[in-house]
Amino acid sequence: MNDFFSTTILIATVASGIRLATPFLLASLGEALGQRSGVLNLGVDGVMLMGAFVAYFVVLKTGNPLIGAAAGILLGMVFGLVYAFITVNLHAEQGVSGIGIYLFGLGMSDLLFQKLVGTPLPIMPFPEIHIPLLADIPIIGPMLFTHSLIVYVAFLLVPAFTLLLNSTTYGMNIRAVGENPAAVDSLGVSVTKVRYSAIIIGNGLAGLAGAALAIELGIFQHNLTNSMGFIAIALVYFGAWRPFGVMAGSLIFGMVAAIVLQGKTLGIIPRSASDLAAMAPAVITIFALVLVANRFKQPAALSKPYERGR
Amino acid sequence: MEQKTAPVLEMRNITKRFPGVIANDNISLTLHRGEVHSLLGENGAGKSTLMNILYGLQQPDSGGIWMHGKPVRLQSPADAIKHGIGMIHQHFMLVPSLTVAENVALGLRSKRHPLTNLKTVAHRIQELSEKYRLQVDPNAYVWQLAVGERQRVEIIKALYRDASILILDEPTAVLTPPEVDDLFVTFQQMAANGRSMIFISHKLHEVLQLSDRITVLRHGRITGETFPQETDRRQLAQMMVGREVQMAPNKSEVRPGSVMLDIEGLFAPGDRGGDAVRNLRLQVKSGEIVGIAGVSGNGQRELAEAISGLRKPRAGKVQINGTVLRTSCPKSARKAGLAYVPEERMRDGAIGDFNIKENLILLDHGDTKFCRPSGMLRFAKIKEHCNRLVDEFNVKTPDLETPTKHLSGGNIQKLILARELSGNPKVLIAAQPTRGVDIGAAEYIHKRLADERTRGTATVVISEDLDEIMALSDRIAVMYEGEIMGIVERDNASREEIGLMMAGVQRLNAA
């Protein structure tokens, strides 16, 4: 009886950890891609908020979470286009421009929500997809294979991005532009095109991350992400700019959050300590970052605008 | 030798203006099949602009480019590559975190698009490296390679694209003399295979050795075209500068005095751990110049920093004029009588945004000469002092208020030298004193160093430029991997012997 009970809790905790990790994973994969091309984007959280609102609004109107997710991606890509113009063509300082994007997204998403929706109405979440056969495996099945489509997509993107970065011409261009754009330029490859594409894809993923969050929760509210976008940026450093590293970081973060949540629900963590416990994921991330920091070098051209002949 | 018909390349009447200067003023240049054509000129003479135009990085205001008798438009490096032009840049255009094969494959269309086909690329690199004796491992990461190997990767990159015209922008700047010899063999073989080269260099003897033809530029114009068999170094230098140039300073008879700088058992850490300077022992007497030869990156910078107190030595001691310096304390070194002209002049030697006056008093602005007890600066005194230095050292500047970064490299170096020598030092460390400095300023700096020697300063000149070392030194110490491979008297020194020590092949028992 006791055994059964704890197994159920274990399954529920792990499954919820994976779910909680998903928005982090999507956002940090996107950020990692942009950073590999040498562009730092501190505006992830703002793009996530906008993606979250747009997805929420579209699902509210259409009732279709897939269209909502697509709208989130599209919104993110539009932000990517703007950010690419600012940083690649105008050579703006990336740290400050990113913060500008964040503040814009934070305010704009709330304004649109107040004007267009007003009272929070719940929306239709993603349906759970039970993968045939795999979902029937005891313990592992319900942990890993009873999630919504977006969770599978996020985790499948990890090997896909690894392949993209390491084994394709495009991936090689991205890595090279992030290290020494002048070299790439001298070989006749357009630094502008490579960076534009990486930023647009990356921001599309940030938009999707926001959409995933809003649709999974079924609501939208002011500052829904609660700075998840900034954690996602930290996870890129934690993961040493590698897709699997970023995934490991996201999972640690999601799991710790799930355990804290579960602990509170079960009353193991007293109410008085719950605010402290809420800090746990952040504290653990900082520890992990300190441990990992400086083991790997960041892309040499990160946050440096490229101008021919300078 | 085959009949030289239509030139493979013709640049006709190229003019390019930048705000305030004409970088290229009606320049015409031809290049024949299999020819090595050298382009000689000071910084700012317009060589780089002309080559950037040829490589599609910049567009001329007027004039055009013909290849094999037909006009071509080169609007980007991609166009230039398509027309068979390759460029070996002075600052390597390599991505350190990628392998050799990946660096070569960058920008090429892969046969397995969108996937890469690095195996094929590696195979072809192997073939090229055998054909042209360019030893390199296609699967090594570029960050693992020594500079000489990186240079070979750059050449392979151009050959892989089957460049028939190669622009070689100071390709020997970072190589040891034996590496230069190897490289020249490769270039000659490439020329024999019908490839043409434009060779850019400051080193006159290399230009004389390698070229079929030499064109000299000054202030954006062609000042002469000649052939190596019809000219010599003195004449070339004169064409570059526009007046008679003294190639080596006159050195008066000076009898070295007592030991002023005494380094014993010095170990200094490198930036990435390990010892960059290992068990180094060196004595320099007053009235003596000791040249430290060596390819950069063999511990010279760390040595200079350890002496001047900017780097904490792991072991050993440094004495100036009998005073043992406190480690990691620039002030104690300065007090003992050290002057230091650092190799990174804009990073360690001057503050770019400060004006001339401020940079000139950086050392002693706290001194009672320039500072009242209240802490207020004595501007009248400072101005007088600075005007005198600027005059004496011939620093060309509109006024004392000009931001230092607006001066040319040569004038910044003269400014730093003025500041450092104004305190009548006992010991002077001058690292790469004329790197990137035009010939006129270099000539002046050399003269000042020779004057200091006459005055009785113990001087250490650190330089990659063997000509400079040979011109200035009384004794020559060669550094390789943090150690002194040997010390020779200037009068007994041979280039070959020094070259071998620079490459770490030969070691002399400490003199």
**Nearest CB to A167 within list B80, B103, B116:** B116
- B253 within some domain: no
Q: What is the ipTM of this complex?
A: 0.85
**Nearest CB to B97 within list A167, A175, A188:** A175
Q: Please choose, from the candidates B356, B266, B321, the residue with its C-alpha nearest in 3D space to the C-alpha of residue B456.
A: B321
Give yes or no for B96 touching A (CB within 8 A): yes
Instruction: State residue B360's pLDDT score.
Output: 95
- Are the CB atoms for B217 and B45 separated by under 8 Å? yes
pLDDT in tens, B343-395: 988 888 999 899 999 999 998 888 889 999 988 999 999 999 999 999 999 99
> Is the per-residue pLDDT at A310 higher than 60?
no
Instruction: State residue B133's pLDDT score.
Output: 87
- Give the end of a domain, one of B241, B271, B288: B241
> Given an 8 Å threshold on Cβ–Cβ distance, is B116 in contact with A189?
no
- B1 within some domain: no
Which residues from A are below 8 Å from B119, CB to CB?
Answer: none
Phi-psi region of B504 (alpha: psi -120 to 50; beta: other; left: phi over 0): left
Which residues from B are below 8 Å from A179, CB to CB?
Answer: 95-98
- B184 within some domain: yes
Which residues from A are below 8 Å from B76, CB to CB?
Answer: 188
pLDDT in tens, B181-225: 889 999 999 999 999 999 998 788 899 999 999 999 998 999 999
Identity of residue A210 = G
Length of chain B, please? 511
* Total beta-carbon pairs less than 8 A apart between chain A and chain B: 77
Q: What is the mean pLDDT of residues A304-308?
A: 88
pLDDT in tens, A135-176: 888 888 888 998 999 999 999 999 999 999 999 999 999 999
Instruction: Please check whether residues B450 and B496 belong to one and the same domain.
Output: yes
**pTM for the model:** 0.80
> Of 1.10.260, 1.10.10, 1.10.3470, 2.60.120, which CATH number belongs to A29-123+144-292?
1.10.3470
Give yes or no for B71 touching A (CB within 8 A): no
> Is the per-residue pLDDT at B13 higher than 90?
yes
Question: Chain A: residue nearest B94 by CA?
Answer: A183
Instruction: Please check whether residues B173 and B320 belong to one and the same domain.
Output: no
Q: Side-chain half-sphere of B158: how many Cα atoms within 13 Å?
A: 30
A19 contact partners, CB below 8 Å, separation of at least 6:
A147, A151, A216, A254
Instruction: Please check whether residues B79 and B190 belong to one and the same domain.
Output: yes
> Is the per-residue pLDDT at A234 higher than 70?
yes
Which residues from A are below 8 Å from B94, CB to CB?
Answer: 180, 183
Instruction: State residue A150's pLDDT score.
Output: 94
The Cα–Cα gap between B222 and B445 comes to 27
Q: Please choose, from the candidates A233, A241, A236, the residue with its C-alpha nearest in 3D space to the C-alpha of residue A178.
A: A241
Give yes or no for A265 touching B (CB within 8 A): no
Instruction: Please check whether residues B296 and B230 belong to one and the same domain.
Output: no
Q: What is the mean pLDDT of residues A188-215?
A: 96
Give yes or no for A184 touching B (CB within 8 A): yes
Beta bridge partners of B199: B38, B168
Mutation target vs A (from B76, B83, B97, B162; most A CBs, 10 A cutoff): B97
> Is the per-residue pLDDT at B480 higher than 50?
yes
DSSP one-letter code for B230: G
Instruction: Please check whether residues B49 and B142 belong to one and the same domain.
Output: yes
Instruction: Please check whether residues B201 and B340 belong to one and the same domain.
Output: no
Instruction: State residue B1's pLDDT score.
Output: 41
Instruction: Please check whether residues B44 and B192 belong to one and the same domain.
Output: yes
Instruction: Please check whether residues B213 and B174 belong to one and the same domain.
Output: yes
The Cα–Cα gap between A187 and B86 comes to 9
Kindly indicate the confidence band of residue A1, based on its pLDDT and cuts at 50, 70 and 90.
very low
Instruction: List the structure tokens of B366.
Output: 């706290």
Q: What is the mean pLDDT of residues B472-476?
A: 96
- What CATH number did the domain enclosing B186 receive? 3.40.50.300
Instruction: Please check whether residues B167 and B288 belong to one and the same domain.
Output: no
> Given an 8 Å threshold on Cβ–Cβ distance, is B97 in contact with A300?
yes
Q: Mind telling me how many Å the CA of B93 is from chain A's nearest CA?
A: 4
> Given an 8 Å threshold on Cβ–Cβ distance, is A179 in contact with B114?
no
The Cα–Cα gap between A100 and A105 comes to 9
pLDDT in tens, B419-442: 999 999 999 999 999 987 888 889
Kindly indicate the confidence band of residue B511, based on its pLDDT and cuts at 50, 70 and 90.
very low
Lowest mean per-residue pLDDT among A19-33, B244-258, B399-413, B491-505: B244-258
Phi, psi (5° rounding) for residue B341?
A: -105, 100
pLDDT in tens, B159-183: 999 999 999 998 887 787 788 888 9
> Given an 8 Å threshold on Cβ–Cβ distance, is B94 in contact with A183?
yes
- Are the CB atoms for B213 and B35 separated by under 8 Å? yes
> Which range of residues forms the domain containing residue B264?
259-502
Q: What is the mean pLDDT of residues A217-237?
A: 92
Number of folded domains that form chain B: 2
Give yes or no for B115 touching A (CB within 8 A): yes
Judge if the upstream peptide bond of residue A120 is cis by omega within 30 degrees of 0: no
Question: Chain A: residue nearest B118 by CA?
Answer: A167
Give yes or no for B377 touching A (CB within 8 A): no
pLDDT in tens, A81-134: 999 999 999 999 999 999 999 999 999 999 999 999 988 888 988 888 888 888
Q: How many CB atoms lie within 10 A of CB A183?
A: 26
Q: Mind telling me how many Å the CA of B434 is from chain A's nearest CA?
A: 23
pLDDT in tens, B262-279: 999 999 998 878 899 999
Strand residues in B286-392 grouped as ranges (E) = 288-293, 315-320, 323-324, 338-341
pLDDT more than 70, % of chain B = 98
> Is the per-residue pLDDT at B103 higher than 90?
yes
pLDDT in tens, A34-47: 999 999 999 999 99
pLDDT in tens, A273-297: 777 777 777 787 777 777 776 677 8
> Given an 8 Å threshold on Cβ–Cβ distance, is A182 in contact with B81?
no
Q: Is B489 exposed, middle or buried (0-12, 13-18, 19+ CB in 10 A)?
A: exposed
